[in-house]
Structure 1
């Protein structure tokens, strides 16, 4: 369309059409997706497209929650599509998928569904059946050794995932395999593309989750070479309070977040234990105060009150999550680690910065994917709680990872991503009230 701007919806639809057109032409197709770009929507549409050919399809997810989410979406979008769900013997069927899929521990238990969904771990025990098609959801969370165990089950595959979020989890030290093209601790997509560089890679260009205030920040910090835009424009989403504030630092932080989409509630600089009591209290009070002010989210979905289940609190460690949960939170507010918040969406998020109060900046706390997950779950606003001094901490601990031969350099690294996010948050900083 020469001389005319292409809408975000049309641009995204063009990429999806190109993905579907490439499926029969290649043994594998990779789709990179920024946060909230519609990975699940693409998986569901591709599943319906492939099932319409009359050939059976296997779908591989990484967790049981992801499997159940996909079944709910598939059943809603394709109510006439027979779906099977492979599970462990001790699996408890959640209410949301009851009656939506045949459930069993072995393929014969399912009958003959058009689509079978299971985790990668469960697929590894299926046997020697060959499937013409597979879809791998959250493929960047999948370790390459898990892909190797099931690669013989399918002939062609669609790999969908977010390259900017957390790398696959492992408790094993992987230095012994570093540099090898089949390094089992790399993501499945990384190893796949190193061995098959000719496979097409598509990129979804629009985030439907992140508002116009957040997409440029997250894109610049975590996706500097691919980038993406928000599906909504400035002012199309608003967060308003039905109840007035009391001019406290907590209220000012929430008002700043409602106005700009971001706020940094900054505590005094201090080295603390990981479960910093003052930071934990700040997080809990912000969540409680947010609900006391009866927030209302206005967006393309209409006008809706922000209920507790639309608010999330994120932290880096499980002991921090436990401390926040014990701090007297309003019932219904989600509290979890970055690893477990991946793939979820909320109206407002409150996060405890991974580097807050630390004396050092370890590889774990500098992991760019961790901060990416924490800062990209919201549709309206994100409040970051942190102690002052993080920029100085980063300057004192420059990125100095060991350089290993034949290991692709990851961009952006955590040091650079943290600096970019903090530079933006500095414009929206609210100083915490001094302790009395």
Structure 2
């Protein structure tokens, strides 16, 4: 049986299903009936691809805009940009708002590669130095003032930089990672555009602040709500589309992540169970680390469980376990077979990531990787958002804790950590998290008029733990 209990012959192929949604989104943009369109995207659903495609469509002003730019037919994507028109055929200039400089450079690289004749502006701070990805494209101009980028069809910058722009208005804006954007940040740039496309992942981490935000809780314009949450509370009739397929998560992970973090707006994997495999080409010694790596290669998941114990936040034994598992994947000569590499590609250090909740944990893990693991990415969930690897190792946020605070229970944190991989995810945790969750179902004070978020962290953690229990590596 296929999706939702239908016979396989009646199941729509994932590519067709995803294309239907994207076509509907582009039709919403062209119709002009709404000032905004929201697109919810699960992990690895092609969010950046949609942003690039929509940007080219708007800037070049025609269906199939990407094809017109790529083939160089007519003057589309170049001739009209001198006057800021964004291209011939009815195209309009637009602004793109991202949340970090890394996201800005990534979008510029993708957009410039897809549309090499489209003039792109990089709105930056005065001391910004263009990254190699930006310098690689001669049609990209970098400037600190929007007026200096008037000839660009597309101008891209961070929300913080756009907030400093006090003049000019663009017919269109695309807000990338809109669920990471605070509502007050949206308010500061709302006067710069007429209509907008908001794209983001509702299951990821909410915006955060280093100051107490309780005074605004329950207000419809609470600055600590995401830009999308406040937008929809004030504009409930805006169309909301949902991308239905994850092209990153394998068939072993998409159902697990969907059930745990997207219970009402589920998605499926774009690949089948036989489309990806992780092979270990070097024999192991048979210890606990080897068994965990072998479990991950066979099932896509592994739980490396340490003895139950209350520890300091920087748990040396847990940090060592994370480092050991990452290095063991390298030593076992892991090879990833996928639709991108049917013949297999080595899982090199840059294709492995280790994620944790706190920076001190990240530092402890990195110190234990040594020279052999110098190229392995180690970072917090906040900084891993939007990134993709073949194999990830996760230090569970609740491992070794005496309590379950709102920070450690936040569903978005665990969602980010467990949804970065294309092949396998190994979770390191001390035993007893289930008991901790039962003892601390919630520590937050209820707030009036605050929308209830589903799923809550307790439920999401329980769902992930229930699945990990089925792939628990045998004890040492």
TM-score band w.r.t. shorter chain = over 0.9
- How far apart, in 2, do the equivalents of 1:4 and 1:277 lie? 52
Equivalent residue, structure 2, for 1:8: 14
1: CA distance between counterparts of 2:473 and 2:415? 22
Cα deviation code 1:109-146 (max 9, x no counterpart)? 33510000000110111122111000000000000000
Which stretch has the larger CA shift, 87-96 or 68-77?
87-96
CA contact (8 A) 2:97 2:158 kept: yes
Q: Which residue of 2 aligns with 1:324?
A: 365
Q: Deviations 1:284-330 (Å, cap 9, x if unpaired)? A: 11111110111000010121110100000000000000011111341
- The CA deviation at 1:383 is 0.2
Aligned partner of 1:247 in structure 2 is 286
- 1:268–1:432 contact (8 Å) kept in structure 2: no
85-94 or 34-43, larger mean C-alpha shift? 85-94
Report the TM-score, using the length of structure 2 for normalisation. Answer: 0.89
Offset at residue 25 of structure 1 (A): 2.4
Partner of 2:462: 419
Selected match of 1:114 from 131, 141, 153: 153
Structure 2 residue corresponding to 1:211, chosen from 233, 250, 268:
250
Structure 2 gap segments, 5+ residues each: 1-6, 62-90
Residue of structure 2 in register with 1:354 after alignment? 397
2:122 matches 1:95: no
Q: Alpha-carbon deviation of 1:331? A: 2.0
**Counterpart check, 1:57 vs 2:94:** yes
Q: Distance in 2 between matches of 1:431 and 1:399?
A: 31
Query: How far off is 1:171 after superposition?
Result: 1.1
Measured against aligned partners, the alpha-carbon deviations of 1:134-177 in whole angstroms (never above 9, x if no partner) come to 00000000000000001011000000000001001211211111
* TM-score between both structures, scaled by the size of structure 1: 0.98
Larger RCO of the pair (alpha carbons < 8 Å, separation 6+): 1
Report the secondary structure of 2:51's partner residue: helix
Q: Distance in 2 between matches of 1:39 and 1:255?
A: 32
**Aligned pairs for 1:208-287 within 5 A:** 208-287=247-326
The answer on whether the counterparts of 2:96 and 2:154 sit within 8 Å (CA) in structure 1 is yes
Q: CA deviation at 1:108?
A: 2.8
Selected match of 2:46 from 30, 33, 38:
38
What is residue 356 of structure 2 aligned with on the other side? 315
The secondary structure found in structure 1 opposite 2:355 is strand
> Which 4+ residue blocks in structure 1 deviate beyond 4 angstroms?
none
Q: Which runs of 5+ in 1 are unaligned?
A: none
SS of structure 2 residue aligned to 1:326: helix
Q: Give the match for residue 122 of structure 2.
A: 85
1:382 to 407, 414, 425: 425
d(CA) in 1 for partners of 2:102, 2:435: 39
The root-mean-square deviation of aligned C-alpha atoms, in Å, is 1.1
